[in-house]
Structure 1
């Protein structure tokens, strides 16, 4: 089937141009002079709109176990919500439970996702237990298309790895050409601060941020960078929230070290003030790292402009306010950590274009093109070009919308951005040539999405 998207402004990371996009079955086959191709089976009018590559959210947590509960989006509901927001690929995290193997973990996550996803998907692997067996299993994971491994300097007793563990895993990453992703917070010190707060009767949600100060994110980030330098391993810092960590990343990159970092929309738009909202409402905003004071936001936007922050992902991990976030009503340390956001990432970052924080091309770059290059999807995803998968979004830059839990499609009972009025909206979404969103309706189906066996990162070869 041939589809022609006509009259729009095609935007890639490298520039923009008025052009028509020709799609044959699942692939883009041409980007041509407007009006040159006729006789399509389906024509989509994109006049006055942007035609951009589908978004890639490289950090999501569907059906993730945490604190005795699970994140509330399934792979079916979460990928449907992603499609509504113009994201046509997610990379989720398979979570190794202690005492289990990496390969059995991968099988478990395939069972959750296979046949249920509305858009394409891949996996990273969380290594919760570093031993000889798990280190040996990194290569079979890579052979299976999972070549990025997340580790934690936080959550002692659950995910935490010692510096020695991290060093060994980084050595193996260096040997295999794979990527280590790091949750960089000093979990040992944080646990002491949490215990002190609770002993003093400080139990409100805002204490989650107070007991996880930005200095401890900066310290852990610096330590991770030092370990990466010693081992020669590349390093990707996930969900960076604070200028202290950004300064460490920027300094390493200035010396030519292979260090990369992502941030998330919540750190660009929300703050510790949200966590201090009364009547336990602040629990809605509990995530790790926590929201910071507003003065960090300008530094993060600057980091996006300078490429010291390379990617914007969501860390989408939705827990309902009722029954889930409420588990920590009398103890902030028991509030499930996570903020929903997979549906609104593209829209929220577009506001940076509207306000002049980033360019139109940079919007596409951090939301789609760089994630494709970073995580082994280059050429298939993240670009409007012949030969690429026909993951295409027609985006109306003039549309107005208000974010609300009443209208979003994520399986969660609140929005972290409730009432926020924004400019721009997704109009049409194609996933591998199939129209999944059009005219305010969902036309996709669970099972359309395919598992993506990823290549090694373009930045490391």
Structure 2
């Protein structure tokens, strides 16, 4: 059905203006003043901002880890995302060494089919590089439209890949137009520090943070950046948690390297004292990289404002406190790593960023949607409000206030990491390809309505690349 959204203020990464939006066949058909269309439903957005739908580039839905599985699947996770203003998620598809990549992709298609209420895509983990993997990757790009590949530098003996695997992945990505993503922590050093802690009887949740200090994140970020420069490739550093890692990204970009940094809402508003909460409550805040000392928060905000960091992902990875996080009582290494962030990413960035003067409205849109769409091959289909783009829209009330709570959130998990936090501004209605998923703060969507997105190959969005090594693999 045709729709005309009227009386709202349209905000993109570049502009802010008042106009009507005509939606036809899931697309934005026209933008202008006093638009009309026979049979169109009129949606009054008076007093509201109209944003492009948020894109969450970092989720782990129904993901196995540490002998258990995240409690939010593609139905509950994407429903919560939609309530929070997100209309597209990109989930991480985990692979097993020795198995064809297509097997892992099939598993993720099976998990998501008929469940997602908004559009979605996949990143693919690369844990090893051999002839089989090298033969499959071009097919993955061409047939599945998966154009981003993740390499873990941490989780020794589980996900961690060696430097040769990272470097060869970077070379291959350069050749085939893909973006390499990296979890940047020195897994070998962490393994040693963890063993020392356990041998000394240090088993509480706080030791998760103390055995993964900022230095191991900074070192790994620097190493990955140097390898990226050597390969003349492109790198996206996920979940940057501290000033030390951010500075390594900034230094590399000054050299012209194509490197981009993502941070997450938890690192912007929480700090490592949360892991010291009594009665094992600190386990709720165990994820990797860990929360840092509070002073890092303002440095990360400055990084978002000045372009040293580029995007905000949720790193959604929800485990119940009861029965899952509790697996680590008496041994912090057995606490499943991850937290529930997908629903509050959008609003926390607005409330703590725009409302407090740390970033502008246009920067907000760029960080939460547009830059992500450009980096991951979705622009201009997603990430902006323009004629011909998908009608993924958020009608947002900037004056509304709410208190975040597990009692009112829409995730399946039994706690909220931001419990009790008051934020200003919230989505009122959310449209995915022109259809309401959330209307007047009520869910009206349908599981399975979300479409799998095949993405375009990587295109540099910084225009700052400097030619480095020119040899081919």
TM-score > 0.5 by shorter chain: yes
Deviation by residue 1:364-413 (Cα, 9 ceiling, x = unmatched): 11001011001000010011110000100100000011100000001100
Partner of 2:92: 93
Structure 1: gaps of 5 or more residues? none
Shift of 1:146: 0.3
* Cα distance in 2 for residues equivalent to 1:281 and 1:129: 37
TM-superposition CA deviations, 1:67-109 (whole Å, max 9, x none) = 0001111111111111111100000011002221211111111
Q: Which residue of 2 aligns with 1:455?
A: 456
110-119 or 388-397, larger mean C-alpha shift: 110-119
Where does residue 392 of structure 1 map in the other structure?
Answer: 393
Q: 2:427 touches 2:441 (CA, 8 Å); kept in 1?
A: no
Q: Does the 8 Å contact 1:204/1:332 carry over to 2?
A: yes
Offset at residue 30 of structure 1 (A): 1.1
Residues 403-422 of structure 1: matches in 2 within 5 Å?
A: 403-422=404-423
Q: For the aligned residues, what is the CA RMSD?
A: 1.1
Residues 81-120 of structure 1 mapped to structure 2, 5 A cutoff: 81-120=80-119
How far, CA to CA, are the matches of 1:331 and 1:130 in structure 2?
Answer: 33
How far apart, CA to CA, are the structure 1 residues paired with 2:417 and 2:135? 41
Contact kept in structure 1, 2:4 and 2:35, CA below 8 Å: no
Q: Distance in 2 between matches of 1:184 and 1:135?
A: 23
Once the two structures are superposed, what CA deviation does each residue of 1:129-161 show, in whole Å capped at 9, x if it has no partner? Answer: 332211221111111200100001101111111
Aligned position for 2:77: 78
SS at match of 2:222: helix
Aligned length: 460
* Cross-structure match for 2:201: 201
Q: Equivalent residue for 1:434?
A: 435
Once residues 315 and 402 of structure 2 are traced to their aligned partners in structure 1, the CA distance between those partners, rounded to angstroms, is: 23
> Unmatched 5+ residue regions in structure 2?
464-473
* 8 Å CA contact 2:243, 2:296 repeated in 1: yes
What TM-score do the two structures reach when normalised by structure 2? 0.96
- Determine the structure 1 residue equivalent to 2:56: 57
1:41-440 map, 5 Å: 41-143=40-142, 144-351=144-351, 352-440=353-441
**Residues 209-255 of structure 1, C-alpha deviations (whole Å, 9 max, x = no match):** 00000011000000001111111110110000011110000011112
Deviation, 1:173, is 1.0
- Asked if 2 retains the 8 angstrom alpha-carbon contact of 1:4 and 1:40, the reply is no
